[in-house]
Structure 1
Amino acid sequence: MTYSVAVSGASGYAGGEALRLLSAHPGVRIGAVTAHSNAGTRLGELQPHLHSLHEHLLEETTAENLAGHDVVILALPHGASAQMASQLPEGTLVIDAGADHRLEDSRAWEKFYGTTHAGSWPYGLPELPGQREQLRGATRIAVPGCYPTSAMLALQPGFADGLLEHDDVVIVAASGASGAGKALKPHLMGAEVMGGMSPYGVGGGHRHTPEIEQGLSAAAGAPVHISFTPTLAPMSRGILATATAKVKPGTDAARLREAWTNAYDNEPFVHVLPEGQWPSTKAVLGSNHVLMQLAFDEHASRVVVSCAVDNLTKGTAGGAVQSMNLALGLDEATGLDFAAVAP
């Protein structure tokens, strides 16, 4: 069976990445591609790398243009996805690559986003404990944020196995400039970004903080509190997250490694590297794969996990396609099991 898929926000980075993956997916046919200000433009003018889709004309993002497809991927700013999703048929698989349906706590949403909470959908990170069951057959899916994908995958095995303390969790992550979207912003110009790094959202203010806490708390079975600091790195795409947490007394390096390898040994896309080898963003470029390594800082009684993802693939569009496959009953890796680009 071939499923028809529409993509909104097709002129942006997330929408373009979704189309790149879908264009090589053997089980789908790309239908409507929509945008807002770029409606009426030929897709090839804005996404020239999508050769097979050059002649597609960007349509207005309306419920009428998106309806009639088996799957709709919403790559829209927060606030826009919920409004559009509410107008689409219940039987359509709607995958929100934005933030609108990620958080379960309405108070956290209102605090960090300042608008009315639209409710939560099944969360599109299959590697979290019990999450695949929530995604199979789902008709509404919330794709995780890119930072939460890396941070939660980095630490959830330790929390799920009861090896980590629930407070004093520190996550520092560096992201490429594409994580901020395609809109023109002076601080994201090449002259500003290249050759330097800078922090932002410091002091617990980044909107991904409650999402990371939500996922880690679910794995731990109790509230987990984090300090999260994102940084902007001089690269176009990729995230390198370094996550640390206090280890419970009596836990040694061997027990920690056992927890991580047990969690991910059978995962198609998450890989714990051999001891002594550390991940880099270049090693996951353009792929749905995740590389990580961990170490036990005995002096500080902390586990230190370094995790690399491509923010546009596994961190956004790849997560959407992986979740789509599960919801439709396809093999999870369909259209995604390809290597990264190197050098």
Structure 2
Amino acid sequence: MTFSVAVAGASGYAGGELLRLLAGHPDFEIRTVTANSNSGQRLVDVQPHLRSLAHLTLSDTTPESLTGHDVVFLALPHGKSGELTSHLSAETLVVDCGADHRLESEDDWAGFYGGDYYGAWAYGVPELPVIGGKQRANLVDARRIAAPGCNASTVSLSLAPGIRAGVIEPTDLSAVLAVGPSGAGKSLKLPYLAGEILGSANPYAVGGMHRHIPEIQQALRWAGATSPTISFTPVIVPMSRGILATTTARITPGTSPADVRAAWERAYADEPFVHLLPEGHFPRTADVLGANTALIGLAVDEAVGRVVVVTAVDNLAKGTAGAAIQSANIALGLAETTGLSLNGVAP
């Protein structure tokens, strides 16, 4: 069976990555692509790397243009997806790559985003350890899915195995991320211009201000933490795409280094896209470029009683579009790996 697909926000970075991956998916047929200011233009003039989709023209992002498809992917700024989703059929699988449906807490939404609250959908990180198993069980037959924030899923995948196994403490968590500016979207903003970031590393949203913090805390509560606290600091670095997250946590008293590593080994031993590297090995962002993989390196700093987890993902692939398609595969009963690559692009 072939599923008809519409992609809203197809002119942006996330929309372009969705289309790149969907173009190679054997069970999806891309029929409609939409945009706002670029409406009326040929897709290939806006996304010139998508040569196989040169026949498509961008239409307006309206409920009418999205209606009638089996699957709708939304790659829109926060606050824009929620305005559309109530108009779409309950039978349509809708996957939101924006923030509108990630948070269960309306207070968290008000505190970090603001504006109308549209409710939480099934969270699209299948590998996430949660009480009772993995998050993928909540995606089976789902018709409304919230793809994750790229920073949030990277940190959550880094910490959740330790939380679930009880080998790390859920407070005094720390995460520092080197991130590419494509995560901020395609609109022109001064901090993300080449002249501002080339040759420089620029921290932002410092001191508990980043919008992905409540999303991380929510995921860690699902993993078993009661009141997780985390210091989260992202740093823009001069690479177009990628995240390298260095996350640390206190080891629970009486836990050995072998016990710590075993928790992550058990969590991800059978996962197709999340891989724990051998002891002493750590990933680079270059290793996951264009792939739907998360690579994790782990070390125990016995001198300070902390575990150090280094995780690399492509923020546009595994961090956004890949997670969205992987989750859609599960919801539709397809093989989870369909249309998604383990292999990155090098050099």
TM-score between both structures, scaled by the size of structure 2 = 0.98
Match of 1:248 in 2: 252
Given that 2:170 and 2:225 are in contact with CA atoms closer than 8 Å, whether structure 1 keeps it comes out as no
Residues paired across the two proteins, number: 343
Matched residues in 2 for 1:193 and 1:245: separation?
30
| Distance in 1 of aligned mates of 2:288 and 2:170 | 30
Q: Distance in 2 between matches of 1:245 and 1:103?
A: 24
C-alpha distance in 2 between matches for 1:127 and 1:18: 20
Structure 2 residue matching 1:165: 3-state secondary structure: coil
Q: Kindly indicate whether the alpha-carbon contact (under 8 Å) linking 2:79 and 2:116 is maintained by their aligned counterparts in 1.
A: no
CA offsets 1:119-157 (integer angstroms, 9 cap, x no match): 100000001133111101000000000001110111110
In 2, the alpha carbon distance for the partners of 1:149 and 1:321 equals 15
1:199 to 182, 196, 203: 203
Deviation at 1:337, TM superposition (A): 2.9
Matches within 5 A, 1:98-113: 98-113=98-113
Q: For residue 221 of structure 1, report the CA deviation from its aligned partner.
A: 4.2
Counterpart for residue 49 of structure 2: 49
Matched, 1:27 2:31: no
Q: 1:173 aligns with which of 177, 198, 209?
A: 177
Q: Of 224, 229, 247, which residue of structure 1 is paired with 2:228?
A: 224
Name the residue aligned to 2:325: 321
Q: Contact 1:172–1:231 (CA<8 Å) still a contact in 2?
A: yes
Is this contact kept in 1: 2:207–2:233, CA < 8 A? yes
> How far off its partner does 1:12 sit?
0.2
> Structure 1 residue 222: deviation in Å?
1.6
SS at match of 1:216: helix
Deviations for 1:58-78, whole angstroms, at most 9, x for unmatched residues?
Answer: 000011110100000000000
Matches within 5 A, 1:11-26: 11-26=11-26
Tell me which residue corresponds to 2:278: 274
Partner of 2:240: 236
| Structure 1 Cα separation of the partners of residues 192 and 230 of structure 2 | 27
Name stretches of at least 5 consecutive residues in structure 1 with no aligned partner: none
Q: CA RMSD in A?
A: 0.8
Q: Distance in 2 between matches of 1:216 and 1:231?
A: 22
Separation (CA, whole Å) in 1 of partners of 2:209 and 2:341: 35
Deviation string 1:69-92 (CA, Å, 9 cap, x unpaired) is: 000000000000011111111100
SS of the aligned residue for 1:18 comes to helix
CA contact (8 A) 1:97 1:142 kept: yes
**2: CA distance, partners of 1:63 / 1:117:** 19
Q: Return the alpha-carbon distance in structure 2 between the equivalents of residues 30 and 114 of structure 1.
A: 33
Post-superposition Cα deviations, 1:257-279, rounded to whole Å, max 9, x if no partner, equal 11101111100000011111110
Provide Cα deviations, 1:217-266, integer angstroms capped at 9, x if missing partner: 21024221111111101100000001111110111111111110111110
**Cα distance in 2 between the residues matched to 1:257 and 1:66:** 46
- Aligned twin of 2:268: 264
Secondary structure of residue in 1 paired with 2:123: coil
Tell me the residue number matched to 2:154. Answer: 150
Question: Whole-Å Cα distance in 2 between the matches of residues 276 and 245 of structure 1?
Answer: 18
Q: Which residue of 2 aligns with 1:291?
A: 295
What letter is aligned with 1:157? P
Q: CA deviation at 1:31?
A: 1.0
Structure 2 gap ranges (5+): none
AA aligned to 2:253 is: P
Shift of 1:115: 1.4
Q: Does the CA-based 8 Å contact 1:252-1:296 persist in structure 2? A: no
Q: Which residue of 1 aligns with 2:96?
A: 96
In the other structure, the counterpart of 2:3 is 3
Stretches of 4+ aligned residues off by more than 4 angstroms: none
